[in-house]
Amino acid sequence: MITEETETFSDTVEEEAPVEACTKCTACNTVCPVARSTDIFRGPKFLGPESERYRSHQETAVTAGLDLCSGCKLCEVTCPSQVTIQEYIRRAQNKGAEEGGRTLREWVLGHTRLLSTFGSMTAPLANFGNRNPLVRMLMEKVVGIHRKRPLPRYQWLTFERWMKRHPRPRQTRRTVAYFYGCWVNYNERRLGEQVVAILERNGIDVIVPKQKCCGIPAVVNSNMDLARKYGSENVRRLSELPADMDIIASSTSCGLMLKHDYAHLLEINGAEKVGARVYDICEYLWMLHEAGELDVDFQPVPMRLLYHAPCHLKSHGIGYPATRLLRLIPGVHLEEVDEGCCGISGTFGMKVEKYDLSMKIGSRLFEAVKAAGSDSVLADCETCRMQVEHGAGSRSAHPIDIVARAYGHG
C-alpha cells in the first residue's frame, strides 16, 4: 500500500524549482552585512526568493533597494535550503540595469582588465592621478567613484610579462595552470611570483594559459553579457588544457567564478568540467600537505597575524585552508577576526553613494583589528585587503605572503 502511494506521489510531484525551497526561516537576513548596517535594505530573503515570486509575472518588478546588495553571497552560504538567493538578486539587478541602460561607471568598473591595461601602461601617471585630490574630485563627479576610496596601484611590469621571462624549473612532479587574474597581473605581481615560487619549491611546474578577466567586475556592474563573453573565452582556453591538469587561483572571487558562477549564474557550456579542477591556492597547498607532498621545512616567521575570512571564500565551501596552512609555520601567532564582511565587496564600496555604507559594514571588523593589534591582517581577497588597510589603517597581506616568507622568499 505504501509502495503504491509512493509511486503515485513521485509520478505527480516533480522536483520543485530551487526558489520554492525558501521556508522564510530568515537565517539569510541575520547574516546579511548590508541589512545589519542600514534600515533601507529589506534583506536577502525579501529581495531574493520572496520578490522572485512577483518578478516573472508582474508588470512592476520589485527592484527598489536591489542595488544595495553587495553580492557577498553570505546569504547563500547560510541558507539551509540551498536557495541561490544572491543569484536571484543579481539577475534582477542586471535586468533592471539592462532595461534602464548602463551608466558610465558600470562600463568603467565592468571593464577592469581594459582599465588595468591602460593603468599599467601609464603606471606612474595613473597612480599619481589616482592619488590626486583634484583628479579624484573629477572622478567622483563624472564617474561616481568616491574620492576617499584608495584605488589600487598599477605596476608597469605585468605578471604576464614577468612570467615569460621566468625560467621553468627542470625537474617537476606535475604541472598546474595558474589563473592569476587581473589583480596579480596589474597590481600585485609579487603575489603571483610568490605563488609560482611556492609551487615550484614543491616540485610543481606552473604554466599560465592565456586568460581574460574572470568577469566578476562585469557581473556586479550589470553587464552579464560581457561577463559571459569573458567567461566563455576563459572556459574555452582552460578546456584546452590536459583534462587532468589542476587549475590554481589566488584570488577568492576569480576562483569562485571559475568554480561555480560560470556554470550556475552565467550558464556557460563546459564550465562545470573546468570548475571541478579549480582550487584556491591555499586549498591546494593544504591538499598537498594532506597527501604528504608539501614541503614543511618552514623557517620560523615570528609575526602576530590576524586572519579575516573573505565572504567569497566562505562561498567556496572549503573552510579556511589558509589558517590551517599558516599554523604549520613555526613562530606564527595567528588569530581569526570573526567580524564578518569588510564591506567593500569588490567595486561596491568604491561607488560614491555606497562608500559610507561600505565603511559602516566594515566598522566592526576595523574596530576589532585596531583593538587586537597585529603585524599584518591576512585575507585571501584583494579588495578585502584594500578595505582593511583603508578602514583599520593596518598592513595587510595574502596568506601566501607568509608561506613565502617561511620558505625564505619573503
Instruction: List residues binding another protein (CB under 8 A).
Output: 5, 8-9, 11-17, 20-26, 38-42, 45-46, 50-51, 53-54, 56-65, 67-68, 81, 353-354, 357
Nearer residue to another protein within complex by CB, 52 or 380 = 52
Radius of gyration of the chain from its Cα atoms, rounded to whole angstroms: 22
CB of 346 to another protein, least distance (A): 18
How far, CA to CA in Å, does 174 sit from each of 9, 97, 202, 277, 295?
Answer: 51, 45, 10, 14, 15
178 close to 248: Cβ distance less than 8 angstroms: yes
Nearer residue to another protein within complex by CB, 264 or 360 = 360
Sort 178 into a burial class: Cβ within 10 Å, 0-12 / 13-18 / 19+.
Answer: buried
Instruction: For residues 31 and 313, give the distance between their C-alpha atoms in angstroms, rounded to a whole number.
Output: 15
Nearer residue to another protein within complex by CB, 11 or 240 = 11
217-251 b/e (C-beta count within 10 Å ≥ 16 → b): bbbbbbbbebbbbbbbbbbebbeebeeeebbbbbb
198 close to 407: Cβ distance less than 8 angstroms: yes
CB of 33 to another protein, least distance (A): 17
How far, CA to CA in Å, does 26 sit from each of 42, 65, 90?
Answer: 12, 18, 19
Nearer residue to another protein within complex by CB, 59 or 244 = 59
Q: Could you give the count of Cα atoms lying within 13 Å of 404 in the half-sphere of its Cβ?
A: 17
CB of 261 to another protein, least distance (A): 23
CB of 386 to another protein, least distance (A): 22
Nearer residue to another protein within complex by CB, 53 or 370 = 53
How far, CA to CA in Å, does 131 sit from each of 21, 150, 396?
Answer: 48, 8, 20
Nearer residue to another protein within complex by CB, 59 or 99 = 59
Q: What are phi and psi of 154, to 5 degrees?
A: -95, 150
Instruction: For residues 370 and 109, give the distance between their C-alpha atoms in angstroms, rounded to a whole number.
Output: 30
DSSP 68: G
CB of 40 to another protein, least distance (A): 5
CB of 5 to another protein, least distance (A): 8
DSSP per-residue letters across 306-359: EE---HHHHHHTS--HHHHHHTTSTTEEEEE------S-TTTGGGBTTTHHHHH
Nearer residue to another protein within complex by CB, 58 or 239 = 58
197 close to 162: Cβ distance less than 8 angstroms: no
Non-local (6+) Cβ contacts of 260 within 8 A are 275, 315
Nearer residue to another protein within complex by CB, 17 or 371 = 17
Beta-ladder partners of 145: 351
Nearer residue to another protein within complex by CB, 360 or 409 = 360
What is the grid cell recorded at 361?
Answer: 559594514
Nearer residue to another protein within complex by CB, 83 or 381 = 83
